């Protein structure tokens, strides 16, 4: 695909200079949270879209949504609409939903199956591989080459049944990154999983507030009673370390999955390439709890190769804006989609084994209970946070070196990207 039109246009040089000054100022105060400016400036928001969202690997969907040739669904972000389609050759493509004639959307349906996409304006016809098949009257014109006018395409990576796209033609090869967590993620066989439930939580908060909330568990003890009863993630290292060690020792034996306890840390600036983060680690649930449910008991059949419960949960990052929690019997994916500075869609997708039958093998309400309740709690605190951040008197306080370490890594990556520095740094040893 050709380079993107740059949407970021500073209203004036003053605005761009102000942004660069704010980035420099924030970089000098690395321990503090982000200043209000980064949550409110329209210049910053446009820059975020161009430098972060449209250069990062983003989760678009799951292979079970498009099992057959001609199946498609739309993925939308900002003013972009992408047709994620399976071609007759079985390949998954991300077709930019903008006609190569005058730019009309060629597909209006949110999902479906078709043989061709016919532009509703002047009737150009595209195959499900994006190739232009026909252009009324034009294709007979001398010099008109259909092969020059196929739908543009975004990059695609498919692994573990998860479909990722990247609008940057020069993006780092995400498949090569995802291979690094094959050992930990492969055994869930997410490629054979099914979506048992998905829900969008629309939050009146800047996307960095929503994501920042996911990246730390300093708030868990105060905000999430049900979650905190089960998960050790919120506790201090010295409390958690022996519980984790005991779980790591039994993890392989109990689950039957080789090396399931091994961690891979390539987050944010430590990603192998810009916007290509991969991270996975396994942490313990408190004694006696087996899965992420209301009372910690299993809620679905074991996934993939799992033979049993080790009392652990996997924690994953796929690119900077997609996260996953993996319990032996279900996996939960989270993604963040911004709508301007003050609204974010937080989407949650629950996966279970592909052959599990609702009402027989799992109860949907029981499956989603914990993370639905936890997300409603999060929505409340995110919105309260957003309201307070918009106060004229807001001044960010320090970030805790242990409990807010991941948000600090995010802010470091974010500021570099905003400034146009897409370099990556070697991973730290943990």
Compute CA distances 423 → 29, 166, 197, whole Å. 21, 17, 37
Kindly list the residues in this chain that would bind ligand FES in the complex (CB under 6 A): 99, 101-102, 104, 119, 121-124
Q: Report, in Å, the least distance between residue 388 CB and Fe ion.
A: 17
Residue 403 contacts residue 216 (beta carbons within 8 Å): yes
Which residue is at the shortest CB distance from Fe ion?
Answer: 378
Tokens of 143: 């010099």
**Interface with Fe ion includes 80 (CB under 5 A)?**
no
Residue 61 contacts residue 67 (beta carbons within 8 Å): no
Q: Report, in Å, the least distance between residue 220 CB and Fe ion.
A: 6
Compute CA distances 379 → 106, 168, 386, whole Å. 35, 31, 10
Cβ proximity to Fe ion: between 72 and 227 the closer is 227
Number of continuous H segments (helices) and E segments (strands) in the chain: 11, 17
Cβ proximity to ligand FES: between 5 and 428 the closer is 5
CA 312 – CA 291 distance, rounded (Å): 8
Cβ proximity to ligand FES: between 103 and 340 the closer is 103
Helix/strand/coil percent split, the chain, to 5: 35, 25, 45
Q: Report, in Å, the least distance between residue 141 CB and ligand FES.
A: 14
**Interface with Fe ion includes 48 (CB under 5 A)?**
no
262 binds, options Fe ion, ligand FES, none, Cβ within 5 to 8 A by partner type: none
Among 80, 129, 378, 404, binds Fe ion (CB under 5 A): 378
202 binds, options ligand FES, Fe ion, none, Cβ within 5 to 8 A by partner type: none
Cβ proximity to Fe ion: between 261 and 377 the closer is 377
Run of H or E residues at 242 = helix 237-255
Cβ proximity to ligand FES: between 18 and 105 the closer is 105
Q: Report, in Å, the least distance between residue 308 CB and ligand FES.
A: 56
What phi and psi values does residue 44 have, to the nearest 5 degrees? -60, -45
Interacting residue ranges for Fe ion, rule: CB under 5 A: 378
């Amino acid at each position: 695909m050709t380079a993107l039109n740059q949407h970021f246009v500073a209203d004036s040089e003053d605005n761009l200079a102000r942004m660069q000054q704010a980035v420099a100022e924030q970089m000098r105060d690395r321990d503090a949270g982000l200043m209000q400016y980064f949550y409110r400036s329209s210049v910053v928001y446009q820059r975020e879209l161009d430098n972060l969202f449209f250069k990062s690997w983003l989760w678009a969907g799951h292979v079970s949504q498009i099992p057959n040739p001609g199946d498609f669904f739309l993925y939308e972000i900002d003013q972009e609409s992408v047709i994620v389609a399976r071609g007759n050759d079985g390949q998954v493509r991300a077709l930019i939903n903008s006609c190569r004639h005058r730019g009309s959307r060629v597909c209006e349906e949110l999902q479906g199956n078709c043989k061709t996409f016919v532009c509703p304006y002047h009737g150009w016809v595209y195959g499900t591989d994006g190739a232009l098949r026909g252009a009324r009257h034009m294709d007979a014109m001398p010099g008109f080459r259909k092969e020059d006018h196929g739908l543009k395409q975004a990059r695609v990576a498919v692994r573990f049944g998860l479909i990722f796209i990247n609008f940057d033609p020069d993006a780092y090869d995400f498949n090569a990154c995802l291979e690094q967590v094959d050992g930990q993620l492969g055994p869930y066989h997410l490629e054979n999983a099914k979506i048992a439930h998905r829900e969008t939580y629309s939050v009146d908060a800047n996307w960095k507030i929503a994501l920042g909330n996911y990246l730390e568990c300093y708030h868990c003890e105060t905000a999430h009673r049900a979650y905190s009863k089960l998960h050790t993630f919120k506790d201090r290292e010295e409390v958690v370390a022996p519980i984790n060690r005991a779980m790591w020792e039994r993890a392989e034996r109990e689950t039957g999955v080789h090396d399931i306890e091994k961690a891979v840390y390539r987050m944010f600036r430590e990603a192998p390439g810009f916007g290509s983060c991969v991270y996975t680690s396994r942490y313990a649930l408190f004694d006696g709890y087996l899965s992420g449910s209301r009372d910690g008991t299993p809620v679905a059949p074991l996934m993939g190769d799992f033979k049993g419960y080790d009392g652990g949960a996997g924690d994953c990052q796929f690119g900077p804006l997609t996260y996953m929690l993996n319990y032996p019997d279900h996996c939960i994916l989270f993604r963040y989609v911004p709508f301007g500075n003050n609204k974010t869609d937080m989407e949650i997708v629950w996966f279970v084994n592909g052959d599990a039958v609702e009402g027989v093998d799992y109860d949907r309400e029981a499956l989603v209970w914990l993370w639905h309740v936890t997300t409603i709690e999060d929505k409340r605190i995110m919105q309260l946070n957003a309201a307070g951040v918009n106060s004229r008197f807001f001044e960010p306080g320090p970030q805790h070196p242990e409990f807010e370490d991941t948000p600090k890594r995010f802010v470091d990556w974010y500021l570099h990207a905003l400034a146009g520095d897409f370099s990556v740094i070697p991973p730290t040893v943990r």
